[in-house]
Every structure is written in structure tokens, then in C-alpha cells.
Amino acid sequence: MLTLEILYYPKTSQKCKPFRVARLSDGSLLERAAITAIDEAELIATKLSAVDGGLVSMQRAEINRLRRVLSMFLPHLRSQESHAVAS
């Protein structure tokens, strides 16, 4: 089962464990969170393109890995993966 957790990390000078605020198993929320994670990774790649092509390649590899892993748990992402690769 795939679960999304919302964690709070206290801002302190000491190393603290995060505090779990919520745990969600709603499929539609999990899918939106996965898509958001992929979108944010793609935004980072876009920003890196102005700086370093090598870093962009590494980020693109990370995006592909993220899509593969998330699509194992959220099959609906597989159709978006094939569409994104074609783009």
C-alpha cells in the first residue's frame, strides 16, 4: 500500500525527528502528489538548463527514475509516462 505522510520538521538548532501531522491513503491525493513531484523535478531541470547541461542530464535521469518508481504504485501514471517520453 502506498501512503502519503505530511511531516513537520521543527526549526531548531538541535537535530529533531519530524512530527507526523497526517497520513493519507486516498488514491487521488497520492496521484496528485506524485504528479506534483514530477512537475517540480521538471521545473528544476528547466532552471538547470540555464546553468549546466550535465546537471540537466542528471536531473532528467532522476525524473525518469521518479516516473518509473511512482508508476509501479500508481498505474495511471504509466500513460502519462509514455506521453511525457514522447514529448
DSSP secondary structure string for all residues of 47-84: HHTTT-HHHHHHHHHHHHHHHHHHHHH-THHHHHHHHH
Question: What average pLDDT score do residues 41-53 get?
Answer: 89
The ranges assigned to domains in the chain are 18-86
- What letter represents residue 82's amino acid? S
In angstroms, rounded to a whole number, what is the distance separating the alpha carbons of residues 44 and 65?
Answer: 15
56, pLDDT greater than 70 = yes
Question: What average pLDDT score do residues 6-35 get?
Answer: 88
* pTM as predicted: 0.72
Q: Give the model's pLDDT for residue 24.
A: 92
In angstroms, rounded to a whole number, what is the distance separating the alpha carbons of residues 28 and 17?
Answer: 28
Q: Average pLDDT, whole number, for the chain?
A: 85
